[in-house]
Structures are given as C-alpha cells and as structure tokens.
Structure 1
Amino acid sequence: MEVTILAIIVVVILLIHFSRNKRKGRYGEKRVATILNSLPDEYTIFNDVYIEENGKSTQIDHVVFSPYGIFVIETKHYKGWIYGDERASFWTKKIYGNKYEFYNPLFQNYGHVKALKSLLGFPYQYFIPIVVFIGDVTIKGDYPNHNVVYENELLDTIKYHISVLLPDDKLKWAINRLAYSSFETSDTAKEHIIQVKNRISQYNSIINNGICPRCGGKLVLCQGRYRNFWGCSNYPHCHYIVKDY
C-alpha cells in the first residue's frame, strides 16, 4: 500500500514538472515569435513547424526565410547559468546551487537543419542555425562556430547576414515547399483554416509565375500525344505537370 502511494506521488510530481516545462517552452516560443514579427517584409516566418523525414516527425520552433539565408531557430526558456561546449552531448544549467543537464541545443538544431535540407534539397550553406535563450539566464562558454544568443541579440544576429544566397524564384519555391509539407500548430481551428488558405494562394501564385512548385524549375509548354500541357523543364528528374493550367 505504501509503495503504491509513493509511486502515485512520484508520477504526480513528474507530471507537474513536465507541465511546467511545457508552459515555459510555449512562452519562450511565443516571445521569440513576437520578436521575429518586427522583421521587414522580405523575411517570411514560420512558427512551431512540424515536418516529416523518413517517417519521423520533426518539430522546429521557428524557420525564417530571406534572400540572405534560411534561419533555423531553437528557443530555450531557462533561468540560471548555462554552461556548454560545442562538442559536448549535454549542457548544464546551474540555479540555486543545483545542476541540471539538458541535450546540446546545437545538436538538436542540427537535426532540424538536416530535416529541412532533406526537404528542400538546398546545400548546408543556405541554412543559418541559431539557438536563442529566453529568460533570466546567463550564457557561459565560447561558441565561435555557432550562433548562441540572448533574445535581445536575435534580430541583430539575423540582420548581420546581408549577402544574397537565394534568388527570388528559389526563395518563393522554398517557402511554398515548406508550407505544403508541414503544418503549423495553432490555438484555434479558425487560424488553421486561414493558414491553409494562405498556403493554397502561395501555391497558385508560384504556378502563375511559371515556376514548378515541386523543384523550383521553369514551367514550359510541352507537346503530348493528345494535347499540349505545361510541365517542368527539369524533366525527367521532375515529373510535375500543371493540371488545368
């Protein structure tokens, strides 16, 4: 009897801890989403994105498309001192004399970049990973090869990149590709319907501009056996055909 009661208490404590962490994570992501909304119109923002890769679902906090690269942002809402190393599997959070380990967010975000690379087919140099910490936190350590920043440094880190990497047609195609290969979680069904309608509009706009929504190639008029049709110029590598163009 005592063992059963103890087990129940442990489960309740774990559930409370998980619920608090989940709420903190959501607050941090909403905070970063608000910051990102102040970017100019040339930046396209996706928040709380889920994509499938090899049958596995990957959740990405934020993806920002721009002519200067694709920013892949992992948000961490913590309090205390953060000690980490670029090559370490786990980092440490110290607060009130206690230590807690958590998985290296650089490794975590690398998995997100890898999933996006697989989806879009772009080289790694197109992607700019960023780990941003929210809250009363102090970051310890040196990260010369990565962007590990506070929330007040996020916009400057993004705007620091000014060299154009993505031409307009590739950028539009990539935005459309993610929009139709993922879904953004939303608090209401109404928001989700609006998102779907916007994605359909983006998809049709890309086709109307003569761009293949599947691979980013040009749409060309092809001669078929029974009638002409619009297809991708990258055939036979891409078999996309416009229906009722």
Structure 2
Amino acid sequence: MSRTILITLFISVLSGCGLLPRTGTSSLALQIADAMSIPAHDISRAEYEETFALTGSRGRNLDHSLSGAAQLIASGDPTMLLLSGLTPGSPAARIQIAAWVPESLASTPEKAVAVASKAYIEARADVYGKDEHGREKLLSTKVRHVLGQPFGEGGLVQTYAQLFDLITDHSPNLAQAPSFMKGEGNVYGPIFLDAWGAPANADDIVLITKFSEQLPAWFFIYNPGLPGVSARSILNRGQKQLFVEP
C-alpha cells in the first residue's frame, strides 16, 4: 500500500513539472499554457530548425513538418517520455478551451459562467452544425462541464479539484487579467468548458481553428497538435501561437 501511495505522489509531482517557475523569456503560447495549468515547454529556434531537418521539411510550414517522435520531442512536455504525458488521458493531449471573462461583461462569477457558456454554445453551433437543423439542435444544448482547471488525468490534486467542480459547479475567481490579455482589467477565470479529446484528423484541426475564430477574444484554445498535420499551439481568434522561444 505504501509503495502505491509513493508512486502516485511521484506521478502527481511530475505531472506538474511543466508548471515550475520559468527562467528567461517565454513564448506567448507558453505564457497562456502556464495560465491554463497545462504542462508545456518552448523549443529553441535551433531545435525548431533541427526539427525541420529531421522531418525533411526545411522551408515548409511547421504545421506540416512534425510527425511521430519528432513532434513528441518538439512539443517539450517534460513528463511526456517518462510517464506518457501526451497519452489520451493527459490534459496536455486534449483540446482545452478556456475563457477569462472581463468584469465589464459579468458582475458575478455565475454571470461570468453564463456569458462564457452562451458564447461557447453559439460558436460551436455555427461551426459544428452541419446544417440549419444541426445548428438549432446544438443551440438548444447546454455546456456539460464547467471546470477551473484543464480536463484530464493530471495527478491527485487536479483529479480532486475536477471532482469538486463537477459536484458543486465551478465558481471562477475575479482577478487581474493575465499579462497576455493586455488592457482587460479584472477578469473571471480561467473557466474551462466541456471535455474534449485529442484531434483525430486534419478536419478536426480545421474545425477547431474555425471555432476559435468565432469565439470572443477572451477565449483561448490549447491545441495538442496532430503528428504529421499540426504542431502543438494556442489558438485565439483563429490566430496560432507556437511553443517556440522568442
């Protein structure tokens, strides 16, 4: 029993390695991932170029150059190789959608969740509704999960936090907007909406990018990438930020 507990604690500690204090300058993608509590790490410009060379794709867009082990190395998740940090259960392996709702749009945590949920549902219906009937059907649905942390198997602390949010409904804190949200003042967040899996194909990448375009500027989407198709990135209003050192 004691051995099991020690192993569990070891995994829990390592799962947070990507969130240790940073040194040097982080990419915008990494700043946002840290605020979302998603383990991630930048690659250097030299590693960026080396990845191109490894995949035989020098001069092509990074999204089409990473495949297999090369993408896993370039993704920079410090727990990935040790404890399968990019396995399907990990937060770093899933699409994560988070909102920081400006105080100007909501006077209470409950209203902030309602504002974020409404924007999320409408954007999802516009992108994922295959026709008008499908759109109307999606508009009639509700957000199933509202969490204060990314969904997935991220260790004991995160597991208990997720369970607590699912039982009691997450109530986001009001705080100064993260530095990457310039000029927003106070915001409620982060608010994570629903539980998404990993993208399965290129179409999923296209749709999640279009989804990002439809969402307000205070929504950020973590895209875990897809080998041979898309590098790991942060999406905001359809714009892509890569985990490459500035």
Instruction: Tell me the TM-score normalised to structure 2 length.
Output: 0.25
Greater fraction of residues in strand: 1
Greater fraction of residues in helix: 2
If asked which structure has higher relative contact order (CA below 8 Å, sep 6+), I would say: 2
Instruction: Tell me the TM-score normalised to structure 1 length.
Output: 0.25
Rg larger in 1 or in 2?
1
